[in-house]
C-alpha cells in the first residue's frame, strides 16, 4: 500500500498555482490527462467550458457529434481501440440524459470513459430550473463513480480522481457534473494526477498459492480448455496469454469481447463461445476436465443454462474483480489480480504439453460446423448474398488488419464469427448491453484514435438508422471510416427468433427502408449499393481504396439465419447447427 | 442452501453525497427489500457506518457484499448473522397524558418494559424504548390498546462480538 495516497495528501504537495476560472481548469485538467480528442455537444449549462475549448482548440480537438449518445459511443470506440480513457461532454438536462445509453454500455463492457456534464447553477439545484435533471441520481446505477462539483476549487481533484477511477482496475465510466457557477468561479489552479483513493482498491494482489493451485490443476488435466474474455485485452496480457496457451498446448476460445486478443489464425484459437459461437468450443465446454476462465464473467449468453454448464469440469477463474468470482459459476480455484501479472506468474509453473487427442476433438467438430454452417455462409451457392460472404471479402481485402466495429444483431454475430483478426483491440462491439446504434459513432472514435488503421463498421439496416445522424459528424470531421450496411430489410435477429420461437409471426420487424445511398451522398460521402454477388469484390475494393469515408450497402438475403445457436435456456452442448 | 436468513450488513464508507442511492440501488436492482437501514458516524473519524438488515440466502448475501465492496467509496463491508452481533433498535411513543391517570396499568407497562419517559406535559407524554425488535413490538401491542398518538421506530444498529479489522485497514492506507 506504499504507493497509495489519500487525495488530501496529493493536494498538500501541489506546486505553484495559477488563478483561472473553473471552466479553464476543466480544459487544463483534460490536457494534463493526455486527452487529445473529446466528443460532445454544447448547450446552456456547459457553455463556459465550450468557451475555453475554443481558446484551447489548438491543443484539444472537440468533435461535435449529432447527438449526445453518439458522443458516448465515439468516446467508447476511441477507448476500445487505444486502451485510453474516452471523454464525452454534454450540457445539463436532455444533453445529460442522452449520455445514459452509452454510459450503461461502457459500464457493462468495462470501458474507461469520463463524461462531463454541465449543470444548472448551484442555487437553482432542485428548483426544476430550465434543463435541470438529477443526472447524478440517474447515472448512479450505470457508473463506476460519479460526482457533482459545485465549487471551482474542487475541479482539479475530482477530475484527477475521475480519470484514475475510470482507467484503473476493472475500467468503467465516470460522470462528473459541474454546476454553471462553479465553471465561472475562479480558483487557484494546479494539477496533480490521482495516485490512489483510500476506499478503492483497483487491483487485488495475486496470491501465489492460488496460482500454484491453478498450475497443479492445469498440469494434471487431460482435457484443459481456456475461455478468455476482454480482461486479457484490458490488462494488455495478450502475449502472456499466448505464451500460456502455447506452452501448455491448451485449446482456447474467446468471448465476444475477447475477440482479437490472439490472432484468428492461431492454431490453438478454437473460436468463439456463446449463443452464436462456434460448435466445438460450446460442445466441448461440457467435455473438458479443467475449464480455465481468464478475464471473463460467465455472461448468460456465454453459459446458456448454468445448471448444465461445465458441471464435469474443475473451474479456474482468473479475474481482477472479486465480485465476479462465484457470481455465476462456482470456481474450484480463483486467482485474483491483473491478468498480465497472474498469467506471468502462471507460465513458469506450467508443464509443456500438446494434448493432441483433445485437439482432434475440436478439429472434428469444426469439420461438422464447416459442413453444416460455415461453408454455406462463406461460399453460398444459392442466389441471395449472405452476410458471411461480405465478411469474407473484407477479410481478404484487408488481410485481417482492419478493426471491425459491429452494431447489434445478426450482422454482429456474423462479423464476430467470421472476421479474421491479426491485431488485438480490433473487435469493437457492444457486448453486454447490446446497444443498437453503437457502431457508426464508435467507428468514428476508433478511426480518430487510430488513424493509421482501417476501420470498417459492419451495421444492420435497423441499428444504422438509430444513429444515422452521425454521418454528419463523419462528413464534417472528414473521418475516413468504411461503413458497410448489411441490409436485409428486417430487424434480423428478432425476426430469426420470431421464426424459430414465435411461429413466424413477424411482429414489427420488417422495415421499409429509405435510399441509403442517397442519404450518404446527401452528406457528400461516396457510396454504392451491391445487390449481386459478382459486384461484391469490386465494391469492397473501391471502398477500401477510397481515401475518405465510404458507404457500402449490401442487399443480403431477407430471411437468413445465424447458426449455430444455443436457444435460451438450453445447455451449451445442445447448440443447434440448423 | 437457499434458506432465507436475517443478516446484518455493516458497511464502512466515505461520507459522500449520493452514496445512499448507490448502495440502495444494489438491493433495488435485485428486487430485494431492505428491512431496515441506518447511517451514522463510526468509531473512525470521517468514516460513516451503515447498518442494513436484509433477509436473504447466504449465497445471495455474499454476492451482494461483493457488489457493495466494489463501490469506489465503500471501504469495507461485512455481513453477520443474529448470533454474531449485539443489536438494538429504538422506538418512541407519544400518548395522551390523561392515560397516566385514567389507565393505571400504563404506569406498570412502562416500568416493566424499562422504557424511559422523555417528556410530560398537560396534553401528551413521550416515552422511548430501546431493545430488540420483539420487545419493541410487545410494548407497541400493549400500548396500542389505549390509543397511540404517534409512533416511530429506528432501524437496527449493531456491533459485532468479534473485532472488525477496519481500523487496521485504514491505518495501512495512511502509510
* CB of B171 less than 8 A from some CB of A: no
- Return the residue of B nearest to A142 by Cα: B22
- Residues 6 or more apart from A367 whose CB is under 8 A from it? none
Cell of A550: 465510404
The chain B residue lying nearest A1, using CA atoms, is B173
Q: Mark yes or no for CB contact A323/B170 under 8 Å.
A: no
A501 is catalytic: no
Q: Is A68 a catalytic residue?
A: yes
Three-state DSSP string of A86-97: EEEEECCCHHHH
Supply A232's cell numbers.
486479457
Residues of chain A with Cβ-Cβ distance to B174 below 8 Å are 6
- Is residue A498 located within the same domain as residue A453? yes
Structural domain includes residue A378: no
Residue A341 shares a structural domain with residue A484: no
Looking at the structure, tell me whether residues B93 and B109 fall in a common domain. Answer: yes
Judge whether A576 is closer than 8 Å to chain B, CB to CB.
Answer: no
Q: Are residues B50 and B78 in the same domain?
A: yes
DSSP A351: P
Looking at B85, B118, B134, the residue that finishes a domain is B85
Does the active-site annotation cover A544? no
- A141, A145, A165 member nearest B29 (Cβ): A141
Point out the residue among A6, A140, A147 whose CB comes nearest to the CB of B21.
A140
- Active-site option among A68, A185, A389, A420: A68
Query: Strands B47-56 and B34-41: what pairing?
Result: antiparallel
- Count the alpha carbons within 13 Å of A4 in the hemisphere toward its beta carbon: 17
Please name the residue ranges forming H helices in A185-237: 208-220, 230-234
Does residue B128 fall inside a structural domain?
yes
CA B42 to each of CA B11, B12, B168: distance values in angstroms, whole numbers, following the listed order: 10, 8, 14
Q: How far is CA A520 from CA A474, A530, A549, B164, in A?
A: 10, 15, 10, 63
User: Which residues fall within 8 angstroms of residue A104, CB to CB, at 6 or more apart?
Assistant: A142, A433, A435
**Whether residues B81 and B101 fall in one domain:** no
Domain end position, chosen among B85, B112, B140:
B85
In A341-435, DSSP assigns E strands to 403-406, 427-429
CATH code for the domain in which residue A286 is found: 3.40.50.1220
At residue B26, does pLDDT exceed 60?
yes
Residues A473 and A535 placed together within one structural domain of the fold? yes
Residue A352: CB atoms within 10 Å: 9
Enumerate the residues of chain A whose CB falls inside 8 A of the CB of residue B29.
141
Say if residue B29 is in the same domain as residue B59: yes
Read off the pLDDT of residues A179-207 as tens digits, 9 standing for 90 and up.
999 999 999 999 999 999 999 999 999 99
Q: Do the domain assignments include residue B39?
A: yes
What is the model's pLDDT at position B173? 66
Q: Are residues A22 and A111 in the same domain?
A: yes
pLDDT digits (tens, 9 = 90+) for A236-288: 999 999 999 999 999 999 999 999 999 999 999 999 999 999 999 999 999 99
Query: B74 and A199: CB-CB below 8 Å?
Result: yes
Q: Containing domain of residue B147, as a range?
A: 87-153
Q: Is A119 a catalytic residue?
A: no
Look at residue B34 and tell me if it is in a domain.
Answer: yes
User: What is the Cα A242 distance to its own chain's centre?
Assistant: 21
Q: pLDDT, tens digit, for every residue of A99-130?
A: 999 999 999 999 999 999 999 999 999 999 99
- What is the pLDDT, as a whole number, of residue A10? 47
A465 pLDDT higher than 50: yes
Residues B29 and B76 in one domain: yes
Residue A26 and residue A155 in contact, taking contact as beta carbons nearer than 8 Å: yes
Residue range(s) defining the domain that contains residue A430: 383-555
Q: Among A35, A323, A342, A346, which Cα is nearest to A201's?
A: A323
How many helices and strands in chain A, by DSSP H and E?
A: 25, 20
A6 touches chain B (CB under 8 A): yes
Tell me chain A's radius of gyration from C-alpha atoms: 24
The C-alpha atoms of residue A164 and residue A108 are separated, in whole angstroms, by: 18
pLDDT by residue (tens digit) across B131-143? 999 999 999 999 9
Say which CATH number the domain at A410 has.
3.40.50.970
Please report which confidence band the pLDDT of residue A15 belongs to, taking 50, 70 and 90 as the band edges: low
Q: What is the ipTM of this complex?
A: 0.91
Identify whether B169 is part of a domain.
no
Question: Does residue A561 lie within any of the structural domains?
Answer: no
Contact B75 A198 (CB under 8 A): yes
- Please check whether residues A334 and A448 belong to one and the same domain: no
The full 3-state SS of chain B, as one line of letters, equals: CCCCEEEEEEEEEECCCCHHHHHHHHHHHCCCCEEEEEEEECCCCCEEEEEEEEEECHHHHHHHHHHHHHCCCEEEEEEECHHHEEEEEEEEEEEECHHHHHCCHHHHHHHHHCCEEEEECCCEEEEEEEECHHHHHHHHHHHHCCCCCEEEECCCEEEECCCCCHHHHHHHHHC
How far A325 CA sits from the closest chain B CA (Å)?
9
At residue B168, the pLDDT reads: 77
> Which residues have C-beta within 8 Å of that of residue A159, sequence separation ≥ 6?
A26, A29, A30, A33, A114, A176
Contacts of A325 in chain B (CB under 8 A): 66
A126 in a structural domain:
yes
CA distance B175 to chain A (A): 6
d(CA A423, CA A431): 19
Q: Does one domain contain both A508 and A410?
A: yes
Does B46 map to a domain?
yes
Confidence of residue B174 (pLDDT cuts 50, 70, 90): low
Query: Vertex B10, ends B7 and B11: CA angle to 5°?
Result: 135
Strand bridging mode B74-80 / B5-14 = antiparallel
The pLDDT, as a whole number, for residue A1 is 35
Same domain for A396 and A321: no
Asked whether the beta carbons of residue B63 and residue A4 sit closer than 8 angstroms, the reply is no
Q: How far is Cα B146 from Cα B93, in angstroms, rounded to an integer?
A: 12
Q: What is the CATH number of the domain that holds B49?
A: 3.30.70.260
Q: Which chain A residue lies closest to B11 (C-alpha atoms)?
A: A199
Over range B54-82, report the average pLDDT.
96
Are residue A354 and residue A261 in the same domain, yes or no?
Answer: yes
A479 with A357, same domain: the answer is no
A77-103 pLDDT, tens per residue? 999 999 999 999 999 999 999 999 999
Average pLDDT score over residue span A2-13: 44
Contact yes or no for A164/A281 (Cβ under 8 A): no
Residues of B in contact with A6 (CB under 8 A): 173-174
Both A89 and A159 in a single domain?
A: yes
Domain boundary (A158, A189, A220) is at A189
In percent, how much of chain A has pLDDT > 90? 97
> Who contacts A460 (Cβ-Cβ below 8 Å, separation ≥6)?
A407, A408, A409, A410, A411, A412, A436, A485, A486, A487, A488, A491, A492
Assess whether pLDDT exceeds 70 at residue A7: no
Which of A136, A144, A198 is nearest residue B18 as measured by Cβ atoms?
A136
Q: Check CB contact under 8 Å for B25 and A141.
A: yes
Taking contacts as CB-CB distances below 8 angstroms, the residues of chain B near A148 are 17-18
Q: Is residue B59 domain-shared with residue B73, that is, in the same domain?
A: yes
* CB-based contact B15:B48 (threshold 8 Å): yes
DSSP state for residue A25 in the 8-state scheme: H
Lowest mean pLDDT among A517-521, B54-58, B59-63, B161-165: B161-165
Same domain, B105 and B56: no
Q: How many domains does chain B have?
A: 2
Identify the CATH number of the domain in which residue B115 sits: 3.30.70.1150
Question: What pLDDT does B55 receive?
Answer: 97
The reply to whether A47 belongs to the active site is: no
B51 with B115, same domain: the answer is no
**Does the structure show a pLDDT above 90 at B164?**
no
Do B28 and B75 lie in one domain? The reply is: yes
B38 lies within 8 A of chain A by CB:
no
B72 and B22 within one domain: yes
Annotated active-site residue in A84, A144, A161, A180: A180
Q: Is the residue at B27 inside a domain?
A: yes
d(CA A452, CA A447): 8
pLDDT above 70 (res A390): yes
Beta bridge partners of B48: B13, B41
pLDDT at A8 over 60: no
Q: Largest Cα–Cα distance in chain A?
A: 72
For residue A424, the Cα-to-chain-centroid distance in whole angstroms is 13
Contacts of B13 in chain A (CB under 8 A): 199
CB atoms inside a 10 Å sphere around CB B118: 12
Task: For residue A374, tell me if it sits in a domain.
Answer: no
For residue B25, list chain A residues with Cβ-Cβ distance below 8 A. 140-141
Residues B29 and B101 placed together within one structural domain of the fold: no
Instruction: Reduce the DSSP state of residue A203 to 3 states and report it.
Output: coil
CB pair distance less than 8 Å for B62 and A197: no
Examine the domain organization and report whether A178 and A262 are in the same domain: no
Size of interface A-B (CB pairs under 8 A): 54
A568 contacts: CB under 8 Å, gap ≥ 6: none
For residue range A28-77, list pLDDT tens digits in order. Answer: 999 999 999 999 999 999 999 999 999 999 999 999 999 999 999 999 99
Contacts of A138 in chain B (CB under 8 A): none
Residue A506 resides in a domain: yes
Q: Are residues B75 and B97 in the same domain?
A: no
Interface of A with B in 146-205 (CB under 8 A): 146-148, 165, 197-200
Position B163 in a domain: no
Band of pLDDT at residue B171, cut at 50, 70 and 90: confident
Residue A200 located in a structural domain: no
Q: Give how far Cα A189 sits from Cα of A11, A16, A35, A309, Å.
A: 11, 8, 18, 55
Residue B167 inside a domain? The answer is no
B144/A151 Cα distance (integer angstroms): 51
Inside any domain, residue A460: yes
For chain A, the distance separating the N- and C-terminal CA atoms, rounded to the nearest angstrom, is: 55
Q: What is the mean pLDDT of chain A?
A: 96
Query: Could you tell me if residue A2 is inside a domain?
Result: no
Predicted structure pTM score:
0.95
Q: Based on the structure, what is the number of domains in chain A? A: 3
Nearest CA in chain A to B73: A199
Is there a single domain that holds both residue A323 and residue A403? no
| Highest mean pLDDT, choosing among A454-458, B2-6, B161-165 | A454-458
Amino acid at each position: 500500500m506504499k504507493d497509495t495516497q489519500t487525495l488530501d495528501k496529493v493536494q498538500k504537495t501541489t506546486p505553484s498555482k495559477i488563478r483561472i476560472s473553473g471552466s479553464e481548469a476543466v480544459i487544463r485538467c483534460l490536457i494534463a490527462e493526455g486527452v487529445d480528442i473529446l466528443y460532445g455537444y454544447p448547450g446552456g449549462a456547459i457553455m463556459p467550458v465550450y468557451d475555453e475549448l475554443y481558446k484551447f482548440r489548438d491543443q484539444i480537438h472537440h468533435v461535435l457529434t449529432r447527438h449526445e449518445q453518439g458522443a458516448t459511443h465515439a468516446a467508447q470506440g476511441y477507448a476500445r481501440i487505444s486502451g485510453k480513457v474516452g471523454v464525452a461532454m454534454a450540457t445539463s438536462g436532455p444533453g445529460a440524459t442522452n449520455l445514459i445509453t452509452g454510459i450503461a454500455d461502457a459500464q457493462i463492457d468495462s470501458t474507461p470513459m469520463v463524461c462531463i456534464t454541465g449543470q444548472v447553477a448551484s442555487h437553482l439545484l432542485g428548483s426544476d430550473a430550465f434543463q435541470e435533471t438529477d443526472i447524478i441520481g440517474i447515472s448512479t446505477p450505470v457508473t463506476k463513480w460519479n460526482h457533482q462539483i459545485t465549487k471551482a476549487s474542487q475541479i482539479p481533484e475530482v477530475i484527477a480522481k475521475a480519470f484514475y477511477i475510470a482507467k484503473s482496475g476493472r475500467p468503467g465510466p465516470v460522470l462528473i457534473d459541474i454546476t454553471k457557477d462553479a465553471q465561472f468561479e475562479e480558483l487557484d489552479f494546479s494539477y496533480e494526477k490521482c495516485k490512489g483513493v483510500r476506499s478503492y482498491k483497483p487491483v487485488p494482489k495475486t496470491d501465489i498459492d492460488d496460482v500454484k493451485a491453478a498450475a497443479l490443476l492445469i498440469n494434471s488435466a487431460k482435457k484443459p480448455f481456456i475461455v478468455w474474455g476482454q480482461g486479457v485485452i484490458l490488462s494488455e496480457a495478450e502475449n502472456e496469454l499466448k505464451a500460456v496457451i502455447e506452452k501448455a498446448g491448451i485449446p482456447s476460445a474467446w468471448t465476444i469481447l475477447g475477440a482479437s486478443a490472439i490472432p484468428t489464425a492461431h492454431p490453438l484459437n478454437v473460436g468463439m463461445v456463446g449463443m452464436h459461437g462456434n460448435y466445438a468450443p460450446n460442445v466441448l465446454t461440457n467435455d473438458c476436465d479443467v475449464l480455465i476462465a481468464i478475464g471473463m464473467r460467465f455472461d448468460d449468453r456465454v453459459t446458456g443454462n448454468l445448471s448444465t454448464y461445465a458441471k464435469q469440469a474443475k473451474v479456474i477463474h482468473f479475474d481482477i474483480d472479486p465480485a465476479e468470482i462465484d457470481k455465476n459459476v462456482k470456481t474450484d480455484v480463483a486467482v485474483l489480480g491483473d491478468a498480465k501479472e497472474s498469467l506471468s506468474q502462471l507460465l513458469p509453473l506450467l508443464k509443456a504439453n500438446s494434448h493432441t487427442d483433445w485437439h482432434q476433438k475440436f478439429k472434428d467438430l469444426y469439420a461438422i460446423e464447416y459442413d453444416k454452417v460455415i461453408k454455406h455462409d462463406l461460399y453460398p451457392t444459392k442466389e441471395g448474398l449472405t452476410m458471411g460472404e461480405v465478411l469474407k471479402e473484407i477479410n481478404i481485402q484487408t488481410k485481417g488488419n482492419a478493426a471491425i466495429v459491429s452494431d447489434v444483431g445478426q450482422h454482429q454475430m456474423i462479423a464476430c464469427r467470421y472476421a479474421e483478426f491479426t491485431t488485438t483491440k480490433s473487435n469493437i462491439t457492444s457486448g453486454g448491453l447490446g446497444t443498437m446504434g453503437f457502431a457508426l459513432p464508435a467507428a468514428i472514435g476508433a478511426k480518430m484514435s487510430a488513424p493509421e488503421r482501417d476501420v470498417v463498421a459492419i451495421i444492420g439496416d435497423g441499428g444504422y438508422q438509430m444513429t444515422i445522424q452521425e454521418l454528419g459528424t463523419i462528413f464534417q470531421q472528414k473521418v475516413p471510416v468504411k461503413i458497410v450496411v448489411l441490409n436485409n430489410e428486417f430487424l434480423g435477429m428478432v425476426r430469426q427468433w420470431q421464426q424459430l420461437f414465435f411461429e413466424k409471426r413477424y411482429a414489427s420487424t420488417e422495415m421499409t427502408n429509405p435510399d441509403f445511398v442517397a442519404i450518404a451522398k446527401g452528406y457528400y460521402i461516396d457510396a454504392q449499393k451491391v445487390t449481386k454477388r459478382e459486384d461484391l469484390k469490386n465494391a469492397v475494393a473501391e471502398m477500401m481504396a477510397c481515401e475518405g469515408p465510404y458507404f457500402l450497402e449490401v442487399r443480403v438475403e431477407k430471411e437468413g439465419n445465424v447458426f449455430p445457436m444455443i436457444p435460451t435456456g438450453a445447455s451449451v452442448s445442445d447448440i443447434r447447427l440448423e | 442452501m437457499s434458506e432465507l436468513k436475517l443478516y446484518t450488513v455493516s458497511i464502512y464508507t466515505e461520507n459522500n453525497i449520493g452514496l445512499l442511492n448507490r448502495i440502495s440501488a444494489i438491493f433495488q436492482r435485485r428486487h430485494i427489500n431492505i428491512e431496515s437501514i441506518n447511517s451514522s458516524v463510526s468509531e473512525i473519524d470521517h468514516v460513516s457506518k451503515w447498518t442494513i438488515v436484509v433477509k436473504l440466502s447466504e449465497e445471495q448475501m455474499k454476492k451482494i457484499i461483493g457488489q457493495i465492496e466494489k463501490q469506489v467509496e465503500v471501504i469495507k463491508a461485512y455481513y453477520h448473522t443474529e448470533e454474531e452481533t449485539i443489536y438494538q433498535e429504538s422506538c418512541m411513543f407519544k400518548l395522551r397524558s390523561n392515560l397516566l391517570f385514567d389507565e393505571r396499568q400504563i404506569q406498570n407497562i412502562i416500568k416493566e418494559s424499562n422504557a424511559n419517559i422523555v417528556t410530560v406535559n398537560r396534553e401528551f407524554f413521550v416515552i422511548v424504548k430501546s431493545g430488540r425488535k420483539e420487545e419493541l413490538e410487545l410494548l407497541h401491542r400493549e400500548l396500542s390498546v389505549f390509543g397511540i398518538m404517534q409512533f416511530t421506530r429506528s432501524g437496527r444498529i449493531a456491533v459485532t462480538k468479534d473485532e472488525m479489522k477496519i481500523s487496521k485497514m485504514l491505518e495501512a492506507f495512511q502509510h
